[in-house]
Amino acid sequence: MVSPLKQSVLLMFFLLMATSEAGFFKKRRVHVVISNDIAPGIDLKIHCKSKDDDLGEQILPNKGTWGFTFRPNFWGTTQFFCSFVWQSNLRYFDAFISERDYNEDHPDVAWTIIPMGPCKFNYATNSSDICFPWN
């Protein structure tokens, strides 16, 4: 039988490891980068948010980039959704969905935005060839 003191010490150790920067259950930080490749001379207005964080509005010139960093939650439900506006077009896309995008080996997610939809950087081919339709 484990004594109450040993139980308390083990619980404290578990909580410290789970909540520390190097905790067993913490996921690696993710850096999402979005690039504007709509067309020469066309600015792209982006507004991204999650359930908890509003990252504000950004204006990207053609070939410009913008990014944000966060740590996905333990449950794997972190999601960032974005609106994209250029000329008279308004489109939406989820820039990060834990289940689809989180990869411990490659925690960075890079999107190239083209008129047909966002294309994700593929580490296997070293190019942005994983393209999705707009939501």
CATH number for the domain that contains residue 101: 2.60.40.10
pLDDT at 2: 65
In a domain, 12, yes or no: no
Instruction: Give the bridge partners for 120, in sequence order.
Output: 111, 130
pLDDT at 86: 98
In a domain, 108, yes or no: yes
In a domain, 121, yes or no: yes
Q: How many CB atoms lie within 10 A of CB 46?
A: 20
Torsion on CA atoms 105, 101, 117, 52, rounded to nearest 10? -130
In a domain, 76, yes or no: yes
In a domain, 95, yes or no: yes
pLDDT at 107: 87
In a domain, 5, yes or no: no
In a domain, 2, yes or no: no
> Splitting the chain (135 residues) into consecutive groups of 10 residues, what average pLDDT does each group show?
63 50 67 98 98 97 97 93 98 97 91 98 96 96
Burial class for 67, CB neighbours closer than 10 Å (0-12, 13-18, 19+): middle
pLDDT at 13: 53
pLDDT at 21: 46
pLDDT at 105: 86
Count of the separate structural domains present in the chain: 1
pTM: 0.80
* Domain enclosing residue 34, as ranges: 27-131
In a domain, 18, yes or no: no
